[in-house]
Structure formats: C-alpha cells, structure tokens
Amino acid sequence: MIDEVKFIDTVFLKENTTITDNVDDNLLVPYIYKAQDTHLQQALGTTFYNHLKQSIIDGTTTVDERALIIGYIQKMVAEWALYEVLPFINYKLTNKSLSKERSEYSNNSELNELKYIRQTVRDMAEFYTKRLTNHLNQNCELYPKYNDPDNPENLRKSNKSYYTGIFIPKRKYK
C-alpha cells in the first residue's frame, strides 16, 4: 500500500479557503485525506491517483504532473476538503458526547445557513473538478497512466463533476 500523501497541507487549505488560522490543523488533516480518497481518486481513477502519490513519494513527478498538481489538483482538493469539514468544524466528539462549540462573541449557524454555504462550496469544488477532468481529457497524452486501466481493481474515473440532486433514468425508445 502506498504511504499517505497529502496533495495540499493545512497552510494551503487555510490560504485558499475561508478557513481561518485559528482552526486546529488536526481537525483539518483527515478531511484533506477524505477529499483526496473520494473526490480526487474518482476524477483521476485509482491507477493514475496511485501513480501520482507514488511519484511524489519517490520524487519522480514529471514537469507535466507537477503542473497538474499545482494548477488543478490542489485547488480542487482544497474545495472538497472544505466541503467535507464544514459540518464538523462546530462540533467536538469526546468520550462523553458530541458537543456543539460556542463562542461568547459569535453565534452558531442554523442548519439552513450551513446547507447554503455547503452547497456554495460544493459548486466551487465541482467547478474545479470539471476543470481538472477537462484538462486531463484534452491532454491525456501527457498523462499515460490516466488512460491506462492496467489494474482490474481500478476505481473507474468519472467525467461527471456536477450533481444536481435530480436523477433521470435513461430510457430506451423504440
């Protein structure tokens, strides 16, 4: 198994999203991994995702791969990490309970406000995902592992980056 690799760190996440510096890094790191493992791996496919992680570990990333990571992947992962962490920033899980933290100088958000903010973040994350998949599809010759499903357990990459919440089944017309 490939060691854990973070495509972004907490400094990048805080500088490129609305997360403030006073949010504990230990709270953010699991959501960076979650964003990578779910959303990024889905966009890249497991083969290319694992290749990029291994090349970062080995220090063998190509110029094109570094440009892909800096120009496309990091922004996407930051937005998805923010999306994933949003519901949990206000809460603290202890051995006694799940508690909602409160400050004497601020009020907690209401559920409908959180849903609105989260949807706005999701829209931006989907935008960056679409940008990434468009770039990969237009420049697939630069990334041979992207179109090389050599692993039978490969998580198939998805070109779908927007979710509308509406499912319309395909019909076969005669």
Please write the tens of the pLDDT for every residue from 50-86.
999 999 999 999 999 999 999 999 999 999 999 999 9
Q: Is residue 5 part of a domain?
A: no
Residue 30 lies in a domain: yes
Q: What pLDDT, in 10s, does the model give residues 105-158?
A: 666 667 788 889 999 999 999 999 999 999 999 998 999 888 765 555 555 555
Residues 33/81, Cβ–Cβ less than 8 Å: no
Structural domain harbouring 47: 10-94+104-147
62 lies in some domain: yes
Nearest to 43 by CA among 146, 166, 163, 150: 146
Domain presence at residue 168: no
What is the pTM for the complete model shown?
0.81
157 belongs to a structural domain:
no
Q: How many domains does the chain have?
A: 1
Q: Which residues of 130-143 are buried (b: 16+ CB within 10 A; e: fewer)?
A: bebbebbeeeeeeb
